[in-house]
């Protein structure tokens, strides 16, 4: 199978998964809690956040959260969808090969990676490591989530790949330390961590 092409993410896709209240996967209360968690934990760890990249930013759910928790930070939204780039003015690009002049303090990649084939996923995970010099937030459903019945398959897009969690972790560990809750910290970041504050204590 191939990664989902850009044409997948047209107006009908966003109408179904974001704008129609009956079929929307967006939970504003969840997003508010998530933004509070990410913001509070990065403030606690004293990770400086001045430049933020939201790759696969969708309708820009993180834009307001970043403004609230990191008011001095710039926000860059990147999207594969021509429809959303035209509607919101995002920069067009893919997590697989997007490049920037300099890495970011915080990179967000939510709900994007399961649309990628295994080869593209490996490239995307390596690219996320290059793009972040600080923190990285990743949200991606895995095969284990389906097996443990924590996914509502009536709301979830059936076109998602069911990659194993270990495939995600293996790719992310090459560049980052896992902090928990979907947060990772670049191995290049000069942020002291206690051994119990991250999963791999090397």
Residue 45: the pLDDT is 96
C-alpha span between 200 and 14 (Å, rounded): 38
Q: Cβ(115)–Cβ(161) under 8 Å?
A: yes
Closest CA to 127 of 104, 111, 148, 149: 104
Pairing of strands 183-186, 132-139: antiparallel
Residue 201: the pLDDT is 52
Kindly state the tokens that stand for 129.
């490591």
Closest CA to 59 of 33, 39, 86: 86
Kindly state the tokens that stand for 62.
């993180």
Residue 153: the pLDDT is 86
C-alpha span between 90 and 186 (Å, rounded): 25
Dihedral of alpha carbons 69, 71, 72, 76, sign:
positive
For the entire predicted model, the pTM comes to 0.95
Distances (CA, A) of 69 to 20, 72, 133, 167: 28, 9, 19, 31
HEC per residue, 115-154: HCCHHHHHHHHHHHHHHEEEEEEEECCCHHHHHCCCCCCC
Q: What is the pLDDT along the chain (202 residues), one digit of tens a residue?
A: 799 999 999 999 999 999 999 999 999 999 999 999 999 999 999 999 999 999 999 999 999 999 999 999 999 999 999 999 999 999 999 999 999 999 999 999 999 999 999 999 999 999 999 999 999 999 999 999 999 999 888 888 989 999 999 999 999 999 999 999 999 999 999 999 999 999 975 5
| Buried/exposed 125-139: b ≥16 CB within 10 Å, e otherwise | bebbbebbbbbbbbe
Residue 180: the pLDDT is 96
C-alpha span between 78 and 95 (Å, rounded): 8
Residue 178: the pLDDT is 97
């Amino acid at each position: 199978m191939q990664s989902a092409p850009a044409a997948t993410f047209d107006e009908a896709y966003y109408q179904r998964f974001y704008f129609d209240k009956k079929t929307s996967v967006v939970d504003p209360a969840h997003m508010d809690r998530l933004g509070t968690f990410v913001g509070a934990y990065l403030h606690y760890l004293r990770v400086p956040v001045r430049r933020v990249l939201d790759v696969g930013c969708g309708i820009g759910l993180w834009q307001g959260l970043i403004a609230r928790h990191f008011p001095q930070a710039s926000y860059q939204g990147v999207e594969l969808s021509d429809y959303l780039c035209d509607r919101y003015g995002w920069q067009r690009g893919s997590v697989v090969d997007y490049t920037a002049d300099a890495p970011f303090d915080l990179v967000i990649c939510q709900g994007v990676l399961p649309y990628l084939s295994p080869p593209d996923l490996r490239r995307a995970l390596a690219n996320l490591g290059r793009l972040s010099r600080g923190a990285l937030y990743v949200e991606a459903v895995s095969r284990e989530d389906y097996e443990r019945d924590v996914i509502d398959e009536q709301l979830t897009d059936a076109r998602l790949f069911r990659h194993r969690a270990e495939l995600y972790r293996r790719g992310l560990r090459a560049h980052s330390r896992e902090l928990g809750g979907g947060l990772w910290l670049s191995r290049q970041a000069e942020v002291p961590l206690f051994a119990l504050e991250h999963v791999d204590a090397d």
